[in-house]
Structure 1
Amino acid sequence: MGWHAALRLDYTCDAECTRARSAHTGPLRVLKALYPEGEAICHHVLVHPPAGLVGGDRLEVEARLGAGSHALLTTPGATRWYRSQGDEATQQVRLHLGEGARLEWLPLETLAYDGARAVNDLQVTLASGAAMIGWDLLALGLPAADAPFATGHFDQRIAIDGLWLEQARIDASDRLLLDSPLGLAGQRTLATAWLAWGSDPAEARVTQAIEGARALIEPGGAFEGTFAGVTRAQPRLIVLRALAGRTEPLFHLLRAVRAAWRSAAWDLPAAEPRVWRT
C-alpha cells in the first residue's frame, strides 16, 4: 500500500500584500509563510517529512495564485525516489496563475535511486499578464557515491498550457539515450529551467533574459564543466537545458540564471530563500 499525501495552496493579493491559505492531507505541508522581500512576495517551503517516495506513494501539490499575487515555492532538501519492487511512485503538481500573478517554482534536486520507478508530472496554466520562473534538477543514481542508476525508470512530464509540452521516459536500460552525444552524453545530472509569460512580454525583457543566461553559460565561464544552452522555444517561453556530472554545479547555475531572469522580467534582485544556505 502506498502513502498518499496532498497539499492545496491558495494565494491572494490585497493592497499589494500576498497572503496564503493551505490545506493538507497526509505528510505534506508548508512551513510558516516568510516575507524577506516585504509583504508583496510570499516565500513558502514545502516539507515532506518522510523525505522520499517508494513504490505506490503519491504526492499531489496544487497551488492557485490569485490576480496580482507573487509566491516563491522551494523545498528544504532533495526529493528522493527510492527503489521499487513493482509499483510506481508519483508526484503530481498543478499550478494555476491568475491575471498578473507571478510564481517561482524552485525545488531542490530530485534523486532517482537505482531501481526507482518514478512519475513526475508538472502542469501549469497562465492567465493573461501572469509569469513564471521554474526549474527542475534531476540526478540519476547517486553520482557522488558512485551508485549508478542501473535499473528502473524516471518518467518526466512538464506542461504549460498553450506553450509547452514535454514528456519522456528515462529508462536505465536505454544506453543510447544515456550515453550518446545526442542524448545525455554520459552525464547523469540534468537541469531544465524556464521563464514563461501568459501574454506577450516586452521584447526588450526577452532579449535581456536570453542574453543574461547565455552570458552565464559561455565556455570558460564560472560554470565550467556544465554543458548548457538556452533558447526562445516560443514567443512567450525561454528554456534552458544543462548537463553535468554532479548536482552542485547545476544548482549554482540555476541560481545564477534565476537571478538574471528575475532582474530581466521583473526588475527584482535575487533574494534567495534562506533555506538554500542551511
Structure 2
Amino acid sequence: MSQLIQTQRSKAAAPIKQGWLAKLELGFAPIANKTRLTLNKSIGPLRVQRPFHPELGAPDCCHVYLLHPPGGLVAGDTLLMNVECLEGSKVVLTTPASGKLYRSNLARQEQCQQQRFHLQDSSSLEWLPPETIIFNGAQGRLDSHFMLQGDAQLIAWEITCLGRKASDEDFDHGELMQSIKVYREQRPLLIENTRIDNAQTAANPAALAGKHVYACMLATVDKLDEQAQKQLLEELREQLACPDIGITLVRGLVILRYLGDNAETVREEFEAAWAVIRPRTLGHAAVRPRIWNT
C-alpha cells in the first residue's frame, strides 16, 4: 500500500517540462513565370531548405523541403506551421524523413503539431510527407487543416504508424488525437477526427482492428466533369494492387484510405495514385521529390 501511495505521489509531482515551441510561416506567389517563396519566417527549430524548380514539364512549380532538426517531438513540444499559397502559385511540400512523436513524461504533456494551409484561387498544393511514427506512451495531437478558395487544387496525404513493429513495440498506452479538415469557400468537404487512447481502442474491430498503420490521401477533382471523375476512379482501382486501400469520391474529393501494417506499402501505393491523379487534375506528370531518394 505504501508503495502504491508513493507511486501516486511521484506521478502527482511529475515536473512540467518546458518544451520547444517552433513556428514557421511560408508564403508563395508566382513571380516571373515561377512560383517563388516570398515569405519565410521561422521561430525555433523548424526551417525549409532553399526552394527549387526541378520539373521540366512544370517549371513554374516550386519544391520545398521542411526540416525539423530535433527529428521528433518530446513532451511539451509544439510545432505550428502556416502556409499561404497566393493566386496562381504551384507548390510541392514534403520532408526528408518521417515525423516522430516520442514517449511523453509522467505529467502526460501533449506533443502538438498544427498545420494550416491556405490556398487562394487558381493555386495548387501537394502536401506529401513521409509517415509519422507515434511512439508508445506519446500524448500526440496532430491537426492539418486545408482552406481552399475558388478553384484551388489540393493533393495531400498523411500516414500514421502506431508503435514500432520492427522493434516489437506496440502502442499499448498513450493517446493520439488527429484532425484532418478540408474546406472550399468555407464549405466543409471533409471533417475527420480520430482518437486513439489505448490498446483496446486500437484493437476494436470498429476502430483499427488491431492494425498499426492507417493513412488517408486526398485529391480535389471537382474541376473534372462527372464522366472524367468516374474514369479516374476506375483507373485508380485498376492501378492499385493493395487490397487494404479503399477509394471513395465525396464532395469533389477523391479519398484513399489504408488500414494495415506496412507503411512502405502504403507510401508506394499513394505514389502510384499520385502518378494517376496529378496529370488529370494539375495537368502535368508526377515528379518524385529528390529528397526521397536519399
Q: Evaluate the alpha carbon distance shift between residue 112 and residue 70 of structure 1 in structure 2; reply closer, same or farther with a 3 A threshold.
A: same
Distance 1:200 1:67 in 2: 17
Residue 272 (structure 2) pairs with residue 246 (structure 1) = no
Structure 2 stretches lacking a partner, 5+ long: 1-17
Query: What per-residue deviation string (whole Å, max 9, x for no partner) do you get for residues 138-190 of structure 1?
Result: 000001111111110111101112211111211223x2x42244332221111
Cα offset for 1:7? 0.7
Hey, what's the Cα distance between the residues in 1 that align with 2:61 and 2:223?
23
Aligned partners of 1:213, 1:201: CA distance in 2, in Å? Answer: 15
The question of whether the paired residues in 2 share the 8 Å contact of 1:206 and 1:265 is answered with no
Q: Secondary structure at the match of 1:260?
A: helix
Aligned length: 268
Matches within 5 A, 1:165-184: 165-173=191-199, 175=200, 177-184=201-208
Which residue number corresponds to residue 235 of structure 2? Answer: 212
The separation in 2 between residues aligned to 1:42 and 1:160, in whole angstroms, is: 22
1:5 counterpart (13, 22, 28): 22
Alignment of 1:95 onto 2:131:
no
How far the C-alpha of 1:277 sits from its partner, in A, is 1.1
Matched, 1:122 2:144: yes
Asked if the contact 2:223/2:281 (under 8 Å) is kept, the reply is no
Task: Give SS of 1:159's match.
Answer: strand
> Aligned equivalents of 2:223 and 2:62: distance in 1?
25
Q: Per the alignment, in what secondary structure is the counterpart of residue 144 of structure 1?
A: helix
Please state how far the C-alpha of 1:232 moved relative to its aligned partner. 0.6
Q: For 1:121-140, list aligned pairs within 5 A.
A: 121-140=143-162
Identity %: 35
AA of the residue aligned to 1:213: L
Please list the CA deviations of residues 19-65 of structure 1 after superposition, one character each: whole Å capped at 9, or x if unmatched: 01311010001001021115310000000000000111000111100
Q: RMSD of the alignment, in Å?
A: 1.5
Which residue of the partner structure matches residue 97 of structure 2?
A: 77
Does 1:64 find its partner at 2:90?
no
Q: Which residue of 2 aligns with 1:17?
A: 34
Q: Secondary structure at the match of 1:52?
A: coil
Alpha-carbon distance in structure 2 between the residues aligned to 1:16 and 1:211? 35
Q: How does 1:220-231 map to 2 (within 5 A)?
A: 221=241, 223=242, 227-231=244-248
CA shift for structure 1 position 100: 0.5
Contact kept in structure 2, 1:212 and 1:261, CA below 8 Å: no
Equivalent residue for 2:53, pick from 13, 35, 40: 35
Which protein is bigger by CA-based radius of gyration?
Answer: 2
1:193 aligned onto 2:217: yes
Post-superposition, which runs of at least 4 consecutive aligned residues in structure 1 deviate over 4 A? Answer: none
* Residue 226 of structure 2: aligned partner: 203
Structure 1 runs not aligned, ≥5 long: none
- Partner letter of residue 9 of structure 1? L
CA distance in 2, matches of 1:209, 1:154: 33
TM-score, normalisation: structure 1 = 0.92
Q: Secondary structure at the match of 2:104?
A: coil
Distance 1:137 1:94 in 2: 17
Classify the secondary structure of the residue corresponding to 2:287.
Answer: coil
Q: Secondary structure at the match of 1:187?
A: coil
Query: TM-score, structure 2 length as denominator?
Result: 0.87
SS in 2 for 1:206: helix
Cα distance change, pair 204–11 in 1 and its aligned pair in 2 (3 A): farther
Q: Any idea what the Cα deviations from partners look like across 1:54-98, whole Å, max 9, x if unmatched?
A: 111000111100111100000000100000011101000000001
